[in-house]
């Protein structure tokens, strides 16, 4: 019997991306509401009652309300995957980043409440967590994170501004240093000191680069850039979605290089000095949002990995 999925907020960017990626995935049936019904709590609750898994693609407050609706159904209620920021550091919720640590994939598969990672956080956590686990980065270190994203991750107002004629070519934002991904980066990256996070948006629809500069001689054990590369290789070399560049990278990086994929690439850049720059490249709508959600949906429902299926078809 097919597993029933209800996407609450299916008309938004992430919801539409999930629907598109679920096309052709076997073993599922989507429950969909009409435009008017999507605003009616009674219709939404009925869809939740019928579903095995509810995916929340809503603003934070609306996501919290939706969770309360599901909880009103008791033990018979569906499992939840929340793509908002609302529950990424909440007790009782599993973090939907399967590759980030031993046991995380199994935890997601068994969990009834999974929070999908944020786009910036996906890149930052992938860069930070393996180094902390390897003892190469102190959790109390001063960490600076710089990132640029396509405007599609900024919501309706930002999308409208960039798609209007004369939209800004580049802009820094969240300069009060209170970006909502910071608590998530700290918790799941393993940091104890708040990082300095400077996000920015470029005048391109999608794509992302997240970078972290390091002074290697100030790190525990003073690791070389090659040793940092090896730590990423060890963590991600079996992943279908994350590839760590094998060696020191010295080329140019286009933030749009992984657009329309669900993959991420990790690079370590270094010269002759004791400095290095760590870089993650991903599609903010792919591994940074909808692609990660579909990966988690498959895990939670016990379905084959959709990306593995695509790779098998491509090689046939």
Which sequence spans correspond to the domains of the chain? Answer: 3-116+288-315, 119-284
The domain over range 3-116+288-315 is classified in CATH as 3.40.50.720: yes
The predicted-structure confidence for 264-288, as pLDDT tens digits, reads as follows 999 999 988 899 999 999 999 999 9
Confidence of residue 313 (pLDDT cuts 50, 70, 90): very low
* Percent of the chain surpassing pLDDT 70: 97
Quick one: pLDDT at residue 132?
98
Q: How far is CA 96 from the centre of its chain?
A: 8
Quick one: pLDDT at residue 311?
56
| pLDDT greater at residue 125 or residue 159 | 125
* Percent of the chain surpassing pLDDT 90: 86
Taking residues 154-180, report their average pLDDT: 88
Average pLDDT, the chain: 94
The predicted-structure confidence for 12-51, as pLDDT tens digits, reads as follows 999 999 999 999 788 999 999 999 999 999 999 999 999 9
CATH topology of domain 119-284: Dihydrodipicolinate Reductase; domain 2 (3.30.360)
Are 3-116+288-315 and 119-284 equal in CATH topology?
no
Taking residues 76-82, report their average pLDDT: 96
Active site residue 119: yes
Residue from 119, 136, 191, 216 carrying the catalytic annotation? 119
Confidence of residue 309 (pLDDT cuts 50, 70, 90): low
The predicted-structure confidence for 237-254, as pLDDT tens digits, reads as follows 899 999 999 999 999 999
């Amino acid at each position: 019997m097919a597993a029933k999925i209800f996407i609450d907020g299916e008309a938004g960017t992430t919801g539409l991306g999930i629907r598109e990626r679920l096309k052709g995935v076997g073993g599922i049936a989507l429950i969909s509401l009409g435009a008017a019904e999507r605003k009616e709590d009674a219709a939404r609750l009925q869809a939740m009652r019928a579903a095995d898994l509810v995916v929340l693609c809503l603003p934070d407050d609306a996501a919290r309300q939706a969770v309360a609706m599901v909880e009103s159904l008791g033990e018979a209620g569906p499992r939840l995957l929340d793509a908002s920021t609302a529950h990424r550091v909440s007790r009782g919720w599993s973090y939907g980043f399967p590759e980030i640590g031993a046991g995380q994939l199994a935890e997601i598969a068994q969990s009834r409440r999974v929070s999908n990672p944020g786009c910036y956080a996906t890149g930052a956590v992938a860069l930070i967590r393996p180094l902390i686990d390897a003892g190469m980065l102190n959790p109390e270190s001063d960490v600076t994170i710089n990132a640029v994203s396509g405007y599609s991750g900024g919501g309706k107002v930002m999308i409208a501004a960039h798609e209007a004629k004369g939209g800004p070519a580049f802009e820094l934002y969240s300069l009060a240093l209170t970006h909502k991904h910071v608590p998530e980066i700290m918790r799941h990256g393993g940091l104890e000191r708040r990082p300095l996070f400077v996000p920015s948006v470029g005048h391109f629809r999608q794509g992302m680069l997240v970078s972290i500069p390091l002074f290697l001689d100030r790190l525990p054990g003073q690791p070389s850039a090659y040793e940092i590369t090896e730590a990423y290789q060890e963590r991600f070399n079996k992943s279908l979605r994350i590839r760590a560049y094998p060696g020191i990278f010295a080329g140019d990086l286009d933030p749009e290089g992984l657009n329309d994929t669900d993959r991420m690439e990790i690079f370590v850049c270094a010269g002759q000095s004791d400095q290095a720059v760590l870089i993650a490249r991903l599609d903010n709508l792919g591994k940074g949002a909808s692609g990660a959600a579909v990966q988690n949906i498959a895990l939670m429902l016990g379905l084959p990995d959709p990306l593995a299926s695509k790779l098998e078809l491509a090689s046939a």
